[in-house]
Amino acid sequence: MSERKILKEALHKATALSDILESEFLYLKDNDLDAFESIQQRKADVLLYLTQQSEAVFSTETADLLELETRESLRALIGTCKDAHTRNALLIDRKLASTKSTLELFRTSHSHNITETYDRLGKLPSKNRPVKQ
């Protein structure tokens, strides 16, 4: 495959990766884990292609202006993808921390039940009177 064709295909794949990462973010934001999971294989395939072609794309020097511009566009797009991936990873980490925190609330060994915390009207009981059960 010619260098120009490899560059063009790599740029196409990087654009696809950018689109996948944006979709991934929207799915994460909406808690649509099924849709999030459904695009993971496609993302892995694109990443594999870009990884395999990275040496061919970035190691060769060229005097061709079009190839230089394409290579720079590709570098910029990959930087954007890296930022989007980092953003998605942070969102996943926050969601995991929130879920762990919620699960920890259910796992606590405190023997409080709802009537000890709230009365039947949903108000906090006063310290002076016992809670009716």
Confidence bin at 17 (pLDDT 50/70/90): very high
Q: What is the pLDDT of residue 45?
A: 97
Burial 71-87 (b: 16+ CB within 10 A, else e): beebeebbeebeebbee
* Residue 59 predicted with pLDDT over 80: no
Given the candidates 1.20.58, 1.10.4100, 3.10.290, 1.10.101, the CATH classification of the domain at 3-108 is: 1.20.58
Task: Give the Cα-Cα-Cα angle 38, 40, 41 (nearest 5 degrees).
Answer: 95
* Residue 40 predicted with pLDDT over 70: yes
Mean pLDDT of 100-116: 69
Element (H, E) at 9: helix 3-29
Name the residue ranges covered by the structural domains of the chain. 3-108
Mean pLDDT of 61-68: 74
Confidence bin at 128 (pLDDT 50/70/90): low
pLDDT, averaged across the chain: 85
Q: Is 124 exposed, middle or buried (0-12, 13-18, 19+ CB in 10 A)?
A: exposed
Of 14, 11, 8, the residue nearest 85 (C-alpha): 14
Q: What is the pLDDT of residue 38?
A: 97
Calculate the alpha carbon distances from 65 to 13, 56, 87, 106 in Å. 21, 17, 33, 62
* Residue 118 predicted with pLDDT over 80: no
Mean pLDDT of 56-67: 74
